Amino acid sequence: MEIKLPNGQMMNSVSWKVPRAHSVDDTRNKSSKSESSATFDHQSAKFVIQKAKEANMIMVVKSVTHQAETMNPPVGLNTVRLLEAGSKAMGMSPKNVMNVAEKLYSAGLISYPRTELSLHTRNTEWGKSASYLLRTLKSNKPPKTGRDCGDHPPITPLKSASKGEVGGGAAWRVYDFVCRNFIGSLHNDLKFTKTVVVLTIPGSDDEFELEMVTVDSLGFADACRWVLRDIGATYGKNDSVSLKEGDCITITNVSMEEKTQRPPKFLQEHELIREMDEKGIGTDASMAVHVSNIVDREYVQLVDETGTPLRPPLPPGKRKQQLPRQVGRYLVP
C-alpha cells in the first residue's frame, strides 16, 4: 500500500498487520519487509482492499511511538571483513580482493592485508570525513572494541591518494572501503529514532504499520554512508514528518500481489567466508583460496539473484553498457 504524508512525501512501505490466524509463519518466504503482510487467506486480503476503497482511500493514525536507538561504529578491519565486503558490496571474488589488497600494500597505500586483529592502537586524518571526525570526536582515545589476536594490526590506509593515483576500478573500491571503515571505526555512535505509526481504515478493525527512521546524529555514518540504507534511514530537512493520533492520511495506491512460497536462497560468497571464520575453517591467508578452488574446480557455480551465471569481468574499455547489472554472488552446487 502506498500513502501520501502531510509533507507530500510518498511512502510505499505500509504493511498490513495480518491477523495471527491468517498469517504466513515461514519467514524464509519473506524477501522484503512488505511480505510481513503475507497471508494464505485470499478473501481476507480482498476484504481489506475493498474497505480501503469504501473509506475514500483515507487512513487514520491510531498511534505513534518513537524509540531512540544507537549503533556502534565498526571495529578495525581484518581480512575476513574485507573479503566479505568485497564479495557482498563490490562484486569481487575473495581471491580478487586479496590480490588487489596485496598490490595496494606493495604500493604503500594500505597496511598488511592478512590479519585477524580488529583492535586499533592509533589515530590519523583522512579527507573531509576525518575533519568532521576530529571536530566531533568525544574522545581522542583509540576504540576498545574489536579482537586482539596478537598478529598484524587492523588493515588501515597508510597515505592519502586520489582515485587516479590508485588506478580506479577494483583497486579504488578496495582502497576507498579501507579508508572509510578506518575513519568510521574511530568515530562516534550513529544515533537515530525509529518511529512506528499504526494506521487504521475507518469502519475496519484491520491495522497497518508504517516504520520510519530518522537520523539524529550521523557519527560514523558520515564516512560509512551505506549504513543509512541498511537501517532504512531518511536524512535531510525535507524528509522529516510529524504525525499524531487522529491525523488522516491519503491512500494513493492499494493492490494485492499473488506469490508462491520459495525455498531458502543459496549461500552467498560472503556468507561462506563468515561461516568459515566462525567455524575455524582455513586462515585469513587461505580462505580466499579455498573459496576460489571450489569455484575453479566446478564444485559450485556462481550465479546472481536471478539464477543467471555470473559473467566474467571485462576490461574497462570493453564494457557493454546495455548488459543488466548482476546482483549477488550465490554458490550453487
Instruction: Copy the grid coordinates of residue 147.
Output: 579482537
Contacts of 67 (CB under 8 A, 6+ apart): 193, 194, 195, 196
Strand partners, 66: 195
Number of neighbouring beta carbons within 10 Å of residue 253: 12
Q: Is 105 a catalytic residue?
A: no
Q: Which of 112, 235, 299, 330 is catalytic?
A: 112
| Residues designated catalytic | 112
